[in-house]
Each structure stands twice: as structure tokens, then as C-alpha cells.
């Protein structure tokens, strides 16, 4: 399984603060069946803008330690970019870390209150540049009517939506679980990820999402929503 949204790099944002914590997260991920993780430290906002070289260096360090520990989990470089008007120019300047090989994906976080009027235009500009935006934890936006309308327009425009595993699984409450289930039915969820931050707070466990799927869908849900194969 692939986890495309995980704060796994130590000391960079509100994720793990030490390498030991990061390794503990990798052990949890391995036990859950996760084999690839995209490291998505916050970019912009209150955490600043970590340089791509720093992100890649930390990814290499985590992978080296994982290999030393015999953990069969590979970490890839990425980021969770806070959406603002300068995002396309930052991408053009090479300040953002995309992932996905030849097809470049970028996880973006859109402010919720209020949703910027320019959000759809910025996401369109990214696609013109060859970068496919993925809306992080789209269910958080969809809790309001205006937010749900935005998510629908984002998808109609060609964007992809990621939902958090714990929200789909019901750990964030029944209302959120019902909302996620409806979003899945309406084709407004393309990827499920953990958005993990530590071994204790929202740990990297994808299988918790299965609680939110009806039994006939559980055998295929992880393969469909926890990989990039269905969206390339």
C-alpha cells in the first residue's frame, strides 16, 4: 500500500521530533501493510518553506535508518503545500517537491475559512504546468455547503481529492464518516492517506478506513484508494 500524505520527517514540522519517533511510525506503517510513504512536510504557513534539498536529505536519512532496522518501507520526497497566489511561481522556481515519477503530483492544503476565491485558478495554473494537484483531507472542506461546492468544482476541473483514513473509518465522528461515505459514492474521493503525525497522534494506519466501507467493497478499497495506479 501507498500512503501519499504522511508527516514522517523528524524535526521539520508538527510531525515526529526525533528520528526514533519517525522509525516508530515506520514500524506501525509496516505492520499495517504500508510499503511506500510520501513524506509531506508542511510547506508555507506557520512552518515556513523547507528547502527541497533539506527535505530530500531527511528522506535519505530516514531511508538509511529504516534499512539499518530492516524495515521494508520506502519513503519518497514530497510536501503539503499551503495554497496561495504564489504557489505556481514557487513551483516554477523549483521550491516545491512533487512526487509520482514522470507525472508530477503535488499535495495542496486549501484554507477552509474562507476558501480563497483564487483557489481554483491556482490549481488550474498548476495543471497547465504539468503538475496534478491533490487536495489534502478534502472532507474537512466538505463539511460546509460552500466547501462541498468547491470540492465538486475542483474535481470537475480535473483535480484529485485525498481523504483521511481515520475520517472514513469513523474515528473523527459519525457525521464525518457519513460525509466521507457520501463523497466516495459521489466520486469525490480518489485517494486515502493517513495524514500521520506521530506514533500516537493519528498514526500511519490505512486499514482503519475499511470500517467506513460496506463489506462488498472492503476487499478492493485499499487497492483502489491507496495507490496511484488508478489515477495515472
| Mean pLDDT, range 49-71, rounded to an integer | 97
Residue 229 has pLDDT above 90, yes or no: no
pLDDT confidence tier of residue 153, bands split at 50, 70 and 90: very high
Q: Give CA–CA dist 92/78, Å, rounded.
A: 16
Bridge partners, residue 164, by sequence: 193
Nearest to 57, CA basis, from 92, 24, 12, 99? 12
98-115 confidence digits (pLDDT tens): 998 766 999 999 998 899
Q: Would you kindly state where each structural domain of the chain is located, as residue ranges?
A: 2-225
Name, in order, each residue with C-beta under 8 angstroms of 37's C-beta and a sequence gap of 6 or more.
2, 3, 6, 8, 26, 29, 73, 74, 75, 76, 204
Residue 215 has pLDDT above 60, yes or no: yes
| Mean pLDDT, range 208-226, rounded to an integer | 94
Does the predicted TM-score (pTM) go above 0.85? yes
22-40 confidence digits (pLDDT tens): 999 999 999 999 999 999 9
183-214 confidence digits (pLDDT tens): 999 999 999 999 999 999 899 999 999 999 99
Residue 179 has pLDDT above 50, yes or no: yes
| Mean pLDDT, range 16-20, rounded to an integer | 97
- Give the CA diameter of the chain: 49
pLDDT computed for residue 232 by the predictor: 45
Bridge partners, residue 6, by sequence: 39, 196
| Mean pLDDT, range 137-163, rounded to an integer | 97
pLDDT computed for residue 180 by the predictor: 97
Can you tell me which residue has the cell 506501525? 28
> Domain 2-225 belongs to what topology?
TIM Barrel (3.20.20)
pLDDT computed for residue 230 by the predictor: 52
Residue 121 has pLDDT above 50, yes or no: yes
Amino acid at each position: 500500500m501507498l500512503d501519499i500524505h504522511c508527516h514522517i520527517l523528524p524535526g521539520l514540522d508538527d510531525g515526529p521530533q526525533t528520528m526514533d519517533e519517525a522509525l516508530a511510525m515506520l514500524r506501525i506503517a509496516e505492520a499495517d501493510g504500508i510499503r511506500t510513504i510520501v513524506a509531506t512536510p508542511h510547506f508555507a504557513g506557520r512552518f515556513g518553506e523547507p528547502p527541497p534539498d533539506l527535505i530530500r536529505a531527511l528522506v535519505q536519512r530516514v531511508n538509511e535508518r529504516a534499512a539499518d532496522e530492516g524495515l521494508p518501507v520506502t519513503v519518497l520526497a514530497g510536501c503539503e503545500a499551503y495554497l496561495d497566489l504564489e504557489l505556481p511561481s514557487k513551483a516554477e522556481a523549483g521550491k516545491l517537491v512533487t512526487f509520482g515519477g514522470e507525472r508530477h503530483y503535488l499535495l495542496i492544503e486549501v484554507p477552509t475559512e474562507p476558501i480563497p476565491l483564487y483557489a481554483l485558478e491556482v490549481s488550474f495554473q498548476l495543471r497547465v504546468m504539468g503538475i496534478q494537484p491533490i487536495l489534502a483531507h478534502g472532507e474537512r472542506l466538505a463539511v460546509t455547503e460552500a466547501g462541498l461546492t468547491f470540492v465538486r468544482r475542483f474535481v470537475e476541473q480535473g483535480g484529485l481529492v485525498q481523504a483521511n483514513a481515520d475520517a472514513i473509518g469513523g474515528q473523527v465522528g459519525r457525521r464525518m464518516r457519513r460525509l466521507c461515505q457520501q463523497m466516495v459514492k459521489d466520486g469525490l474521493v480518489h485517494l486515502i492517506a493517513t495524514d500521520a503525525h506521530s506514533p500516537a497522534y493519528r498514526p500511519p494506519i490505512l486499514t482503519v478506513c475499511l470500517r467506513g466501507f460496506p463489506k462488498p467493497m472492503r476487499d478492493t478499497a485499499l487497492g483502489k484508494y491507496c495507490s496511484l495506479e488508478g489515477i495515472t
